[in-house]
């Protein structure tokens, strides 16, 4: 019990109080840049290194992969993937995203390479018409 008292009785606050903190202007403001959510769908012939190149493309621009679904059928030489990622639109503009993924698509002879950014892409108006018969 004496050992516990000796350890806790020493003040350790002197090092903590000397730190400088950045104060926020408002409680809602954060120091982190606003991140935008993106989705990439990729379909190509199977080859070695596709996942590595997709990951490298996103990470090299400061993006972070939230999830990736990959499917390669056993009897077919086909690769399917769907990746969800976040990125800073100031570091990686929408036009540059399309160019980067187009380069990957041409590298692997992709049949389909689609990037969607819901916050930046135009919203489509959809109507569902139904009748009672």
Q: Which CATH number fits domain 36-116: 3.30.70.260, 3.40.190.10, 3.30.530.20, 2.60.260.20?
A: 3.30.70.260
Give the pLDDT confidence of 1-33 residue by residue, as tens digits: 454 555 445 555 444 445 444 544 555 555 566
Query: Which residues are 112's β-sheet partners?
Result: 43
CB-CB contact of 72 with 79 (8 Å): yes
CB-CB contact of 44 with 50 (8 Å): yes
DSSP conformational letter for 7: H
The CA-based diameter of the chain, rounded to the nearest angstrom, is: 84
Tokens standing for residue 92: 């990686």
CB-CB contact of 31 with 22 (8 Å): yes
Domain chopping of the chain, boundaries: 36-116
Give the pLDDT confidence of 47-91 residue by residue, as tens digits: 999 999 999 999 999 999 999 999 999 999 999 999 999 999 999
Full-model pTM: 0.68
């Amino acid at each position: 019990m004496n050992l516990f008292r000796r350890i806790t009785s020493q003040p350790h606050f002197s090092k903590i109080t000397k730190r400088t903190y950045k104060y926020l202007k408002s409680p809602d403001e954060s120091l982190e840049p606003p991140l935008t959510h993106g989705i990439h769908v990729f379909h190509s012939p199977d080859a070695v290194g596709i996942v590595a190149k997709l990951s490298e493309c996103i990470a090299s621009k400061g993006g972070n992969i939230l999830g990736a679904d990959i499917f390669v059928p056993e009897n077919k030489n086909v690769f399917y993937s769907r990746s969800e990622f976040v990125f800073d639109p100031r570091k990686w503009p929408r036009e540059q995203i399309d160019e980067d993924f187009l380069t990957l698509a041409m590298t692997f002879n992709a049949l389909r390479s689609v990037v969607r950014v819901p916050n930046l892409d135009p919203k489509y108006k959809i109507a569902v018409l139904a009748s009672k018969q």
